[in-house]
Amino acid sequence: MEEFKLQHRHNLHRLHCSVKNYDWGLPGRLSEVARLHALNSASQFDPEKPYAELWMGTHDSGPSFLVSNGVTLKAWISENPDVLGDKVLQKWGSDLPFLFKVLSVAKALSIQAHPDKELARTLHKLQPVMYKDGNHKPEMALAMTDFEALCGFITVKELKAVLHDVPEIVELVGVENANLVLQTSDQDSEEKVKAVLQAVFTHLMSASRERVTDAVNQLKSRLLKESEVRQLTDKEQLVLRLEKQYPSDIGVIAAFFLNHVKLNPGEALFLGANEPHAYLSGECVECMATSDNVVRAGLTPKHRDVQTLCSMLTYKQERCRFEMATQ
C-alpha cells in the first residue's frame, strides 16, 4: 500500500490522502496510519504525535487529491463519471459512493451511532455544522490487529445480572427503572423490551454531571477494592481502563449495557444505522458510505447529543455481526 492509485483507461492516477491526528490515535512510532501517510506523502511522521485515521475518498471533511494536478478526487470523478460504471452512476450519481479509511486506535472512541438516511437529512438541515452531510453511514471494519469494540445491547438476562452486580447503575437510573428491567422477560414482545431498554438507557445517559461523577468514582473505588480479593471480569477490567481514559464520563458506566467484542486479525464487524458502538483499541480498515455523520453521547470531549442518540437507537438486543474474512 505504498501508493494509492486510481485506474482510468489504463492510466493510474496517484492519490494524496488526508490524515486525521485525533487524540485517540496511536503515536506515530506505533501507528500504521502514520506509516502509510509517510509513504503516501513522502514525508516524515512525528513519532509521538497521534495518527488516528487515513481517508481515501471524496468526502469534504477529508478529501483525496490527484498528485499530478492537485485536483480533488471528487472534482476529477465529476469530470470523468464513466470511471464509476453505469450501475453506480444510475444508483448513486457522479460521486464515489463509499469512503475508505485506515484507523489506528490507542484509546476508546466515543459511544456513538450513525443515523439512517432520513434522520441524516433532517440533522444536516437543522445542524449543518455538526452533521456535515445528508447521507447515512453503514460501515464495516476489518481488523488488521487484535481489535476491541463495544457494540449493540446485551440481552435482558445479562442486563438483569448487571443491575444486580453494579449498584451504581441502580443509583443513577432509580429503583423504579431498574424494576422495569427486572420484571421484563425474554417472552415479552420485542416492542415492550425495546421500550423498557430505551427508558432505562435514556435515564442513565441523561444523568447530571455531578451524579455521574459520584457514581463513576464509587464504581472505581469499589472495583479496585474488590480486585484485591477476586478476579475482576473482563467488562469490569475494561470499565477501569475506560475510567482512566475518560474520568467521570457516563460512557464508563454505559459500557455495561453494550457487548464487548474482540476481533482477531482478519475478522470483520458490520455496524448498521442507529446501532450503538465504540471502537476501543487496535487497527482496522473501514469501508462505509460517503458520510461523516456521528451522533455522540459518551467517552468523548466533543459535542454530545444525548437526546438524539437515545431516540434514534434500534435497541436490538443481539450479538454484533462479525465473521472471519475469506482469503
Q: Which residues are catalytic?
A: 296
CA atoms lying within 13 Å on the CB side of residue 187 = 1
| Nearest of 158, 138, 117, 96 to residue 268 by alpha carbon | 138
**Grid cell digits, residue 297:** 453521547
* Residue 284, strand partner residues: 103, 143
* Residue 130, strand partner residues: none
Which of the 8 DSSP states describes residue 20? E
Question: For the residues of 114-181, what is the DSSP string, one character each?
Answer: ---HHHHHHHHHH-TTTS--S----EEEEESSSEEEEEEEPPHHHHHHHHHH-HHHHHHH-HHHHHHH
**Grid cell digits, residue 192:** 415492550
Hunting for cell 431498554 — which residue is that? 197
Distance CA 235, CA 168 (A): 15
CA 218 to chain centre: 27
Q: How far is CA 321 from CA 223, 245, 270, 288, in A?
A: 30, 27, 6, 16
Distance CA 156, CA 136 (A): 29
